[in-house]
Each structure stands twice: as C-alpha cells, then as structure tokens.
Amino acid sequence: MAAKYSIPRGTFDILPENSYKWEYLKTTFKKVCETFCFKEITTPIFEKAELFERSSGESSDIVQKEMYKFTDKKGRVFALRPEGTAPVVRSFVENNLDKSSPVNKLFYYGPMFRYDRPQKGRYRQFYQFGAENFGSKTPYSDAEMIAMAYSFIKKLGLKNIRLEINSLGTKSSMENYDQALKEYFTPHFDDLCPDCQKRLEKNPKRLLDCKVKSCKQIAKDAPNLLEYLSDEDAKHFEEVQKFLKLMNVPFVINPKIVRGLDYYTNTVFEFLNDNLGAQNAIIAGGRYNNLVSEVGGNNIPAIGFAGGFSRLLLSLEIENLFMGEQSKPDIYFAAIGQEVKESATKIIQELRINGFKVEFDFEKGSLKSQLKSANKLKTRFVAIYGEDEIQKKSLVIKDFFDSSQEEILVKDVINYFSKKIS
C-alpha cells in the first residue's frame, strides 16, 4: 500500500540506520569546540524576518529568493532561519553577553531552511554547525577560528580538503574595490546572467562568486581585491597568515573569495572538497566587525564559520572513513516462559536504571530464536533466564565473544556487568 503522504521536496528523513552518523558528527564537533573553550548556544528555528533582511543584505540570494517567510496571527512577519550567525548575534545582543565577558566564544548546530533548487549536498531543510567569536579583533582570533575548523576536519580524518583564504578589507577598502569592479564589469553587462546584472549595482563583489559559466569566464580577469586593501587591512591579513603557519594550518590565497552574505569584512575563508562537484564548500566563514552594531548592539568585532553536515557525510563516504557506530545492546535478555518473562521484567528494569542497554523481545518464545536475535544484533552478552534459574535465583550469562558461559546470582548481576562492560 502506497503512503498517503510524502516528504516535502528538498527535505529528508534521518532514518535509524543513519542517525548514528549524524550523532557522531555532532559529538565530534562539540568535542573539538570545547578543546578551544567554545560554549554551546541554541536559538529558535524562526526569527523576525527583518533580522535576516538586515544582516544578510538586500542583494544576497537569501533575502532575494531563498527565505521561508510567514505571517503569524498578529500580522508579524517571521522567517525560518536560513543561516545561524544572525540568530546568534541577536541572542548575544539581547542577552547582553558582552557584559559577562569581554570575549564570548560560542558554537551551535541545528536545522536551517532555504528555498533553493535541491541537488546533491543541498537541501531546503539542511543541518548546519557553526561557531562565533565575539569581542576580539586580533588576527590571532581569525587564525584560531580557522584552526578550529581545520582541527574538526582533521579529527574526522578527511584528507582531500584545501583551505582558501582572502581579505575583503574594511569599508574604505571595499568601496574602492567595488568601484573598480563596476568599471570592469559594466562593459560586459549584456553578457552577465540576470542575477549578476542585479548584483552589479548593489554588491559587485558577488559577481566573483557566481557559478554561471559565462560569468565565471568574464570574472577571470577582474581586478585583484588584495591590491585594493589599505595598509592596515593588508597588515591584518599578513598577521593572520603568520599565525596560521605557526598553527601548522596549510592554506592558499584566493583573491576571488567574497562569501555570499553582505556582512563580511576582512578575513574570509573556505574549506573545499573538489570531490563534491560544484557545491564543494564544506566549511566557510569570515570576520564581520559591523554586524553586532547593525542589529542593535555595541560596536563589537566578531568572526565565525558554518558548515553543513550533509556535505561532510558525503565527504566521509567518498573517502571511506569512519562515521561512528550503530548503537547495539550491551545485554540481550532471553527468558523462556510467560511466568519467567514477568519475573525477568524486574531484573531488566534494574539493569536499564543502572545504565545498561538491554534488549528483550517479550513475544519470542524459544531460546533458539532469542539467541538468533542476539547474534543478529551483535550483542556480546546474553542473560538466559528460565524455570531452573528462577528457583536458584540465578542467571546464565553467555559471552558471544569468547563462547564462554557462567552462572551468577541475580543479586550480583549489576556488579557483574559493571566489571564486564566499561
């Protein structure tokens, strides 16, 4: 019988046979962040639409065509969060986190939403992880943030990854460069894609990021951004490179990295995996020194990055790397007979309360079928409980790893498995 309802296009179910892989990524990311002394933050999945419109910029694809917006019963306009930085900035400002500490280092993960054409590695509901550093404007902080992303990638074992970095400079540098880009691209206006024709006036740097083949060809000889940096901006970028070298983080400079959101300043970076095709960025980010003040906070510098779990999983699959382990029972409880099963219930509950993962199939009858199930689940220990064991107040423990078998008293079961299962 066909299902009555189907999943919305561009979304996916994380089924039990894959959920442990996602948990592995989240756990690994959290551990890496904590080694850099970052703390976890969680924000709602929807915010006022104005937050994203203000922070992302009117010319960004997110604002132009990708946001899931809705109006509530009181006429307020909200949006499902399309990215994680703006909500974290909003929370940082609203909760006055700068009052508790001059520097706040935060990380997060969760679902994001963008109306985009679904393709491999890109979905309309996708799962993102990210980190933000508020309060430090030093080049060291830029390098530390990049090094943390690099550490995560190395922890996962990925090898076919390259880091590209660039600097957008500050406002004066960007204004000079924008003017140079307008002068360069204007003679090619008719050959640009419709999106780039719109971007040319509002945010010409976005033309460097276009994936349309004809636009990429035109942009090939565009002015070099690094030549338009002020002395101060150039020095900042040189210092970032120095610290990355001290941290043994390999990189290449790519003057055409501009990022898709309008709030970036100074350092921007991308970790790329060419095995993924056109959508090959697995982690990307940069500095955004003006965003906190633009959403109502103090003039506080910040830098961050974000990445998608889906592309990371694809990368791990391509390189045939470890992706965590499916959870399996510590103990399979095999009870024979209705009365025995009722008596077994108390022991099973006691084991579970003490933290042991116990599988028990109440409906299975024969010992043979229960042992077969335990073997299929790759459970090491089987606790066999029958009429004889009830009388003796004991359990027969079968160890599938070494084929040994021993009998223990029920009163000793917690202590027994505490020693056997670490």
Domain with 61 in it: what CATH number? 3.30.930.10
Q: What does the pLDDT look like over 389-398, one tens digit per residue?
A: 999 999 999 9
Distance CA 297, CA 291 (A): 9
How much is the average pLDDT of 358-385? 92
E-state strands within 136-291: 162-167, 252-253, 265-272, 281-287
Q: Strand, coil or helix: what is 380?
A: coil
Token representation of residue 350: 């006691």
Give 130's pLDDT tier (boundaries 50, 70, 90). very high
pLDDT higher than 90, residue 173: no
Range of the domain at 122: 16-170+230-318
What DSSP state is assigned to residue 262? T
State which of 269, 292, 318 marks the end of a domain. 318
Residues sharing a CB contact under 8 Å with residue 265, sequence separation 6 or more, in sequence order: 168, 169, 170, 171, 174, 286, 287, 288, 289, 290
Instruction: Let me know whether 287 and 341 are in one domain.
Output: no
Nearest to 36 by CA among 161, 128, 136: 136
- What's the pLDDT at 62? 59
247's CB contacts (< 8 A; 6+ apart) are 143, 144, 147
Residue 6 lies in a domain: no
Q: Who wins on pLDDT, 29 or 66?
A: 29
Give the whole-angstrom CA distance, residue 185 versus residue 221.
Answer: 10
**Mean pLDDT throughout 187-199?**
88
Q: Is residue 344 part of a domain?
A: yes
Say whether both 273 and 309 belong to one domain.
yes
Is the domain of 47 the same as that of 104? Answer: yes
Which CATH number fits the domain that encloses residue 401? 3.40.50.800
Q: Number of helices (H) and strands (E), helices first, in the chain?
A: 16, 16
Residues 118 and 265 both lie in one domain: yes
- CA atoms 55, 146, 88, 296: torsion sign: negative
Residues 55 and 156 occupy one common structural domain: yes
- Domain check: are 262 and 347 in the same one? no
The reported pLDDT for the residue numbered 171 is: 82
The predicted structure's pLDDT at residue 51: 92
C-alpha 356, offset from chain centre: 30
Please check whether residue 154 lies inside any domain of the structure.
Answer: yes
Domain stop point among 283, 318, 353: 318
Residue 203, pLDDT > 90, answer: no
Highest mean pLDDT among 117-131, 176-190, 197-211, 388-402: 388-402
Q: Is the pLDDT of residue 188 over 70?
A: yes
Average pLDDT of the chain is: 91
Asked whether residue 387 is domain-assigned, the answer is yes
Number of domains in the chain: 2
Q: Are residues 348 and 285 in the same domain?
A: no
Task: Give residue 260's pLDDT.
Answer: 62
Which CA distances in Å does 355 have to 122, 330, 346, 377, 418? Answer: 38, 10, 15, 19, 10
Tell me what pLDDT residue 56 has: 61
Per the structure block, which two tokens stand in for 398? 């079968």
pTM of the model: 0.88
77-80/281-287 β-pairing? unpaired
Beginning with the edge strand found earlier in the chain, give each strand of the sheet holding 404-409 in spatial order. Answer: 358-359, 331-335, 381-385, 394-399, 404-409
Supply the pLDDT for residue 122.
80
SS3 state at 171: helix
What pLDDT digit, counting tens, does each position of 210-248 carry?
878 888 889 888 888 899 899 999 999 999 999 999 999
Could you tell me if 66 and 110 lie in one domain?
Answer: yes
- Identify whether residues 261 and 380 lie together within a single domain: no
Check whether residue 97 and residue 74 sit in a common domain. Answer: yes
Query: Which residues have a Cβ under 8 Å from the Cβ of 54 and sit 6 or more positions away?
Result: 294, 295
Domain boundary residue, one of 318, 351, 382: 318
Q: Provide the pLDDT confidence category of residue 113 given band limits of 50, 70 and 90.
A: very high
CA 335 – CA 400 distance, rounded (Å): 17
Distances (CA, A) of 308 to 29, 112, 253, 279: 12, 10, 23, 11
pLDDT value at 129 more than 80: yes
Residue 148: phi and psi, rounded to 5, are -65, -45
Interval 258-293: pLDDT, tens: 776 677 889 999 999 988 877 789 999 999 998 999
Cβ atoms of residues 29 and 324 within 8 Å: no
118 and 162 co-located in one domain: yes
Whether 176 is covered by a domain: the verdict is: no
Asked, for residue 353, whether it belongs to a domain, the answer is: yes
CA 413 to chain CA mean position, Å:
41
Residues 314 and 387 in one domain: no
67 domain residue, yes or no:
yes
**Confidence band (pLDDT; 50, 70, 90) for 54?**
confident
Q: Is residue 183 part of a domain?
A: no
Residues in the chain: 422
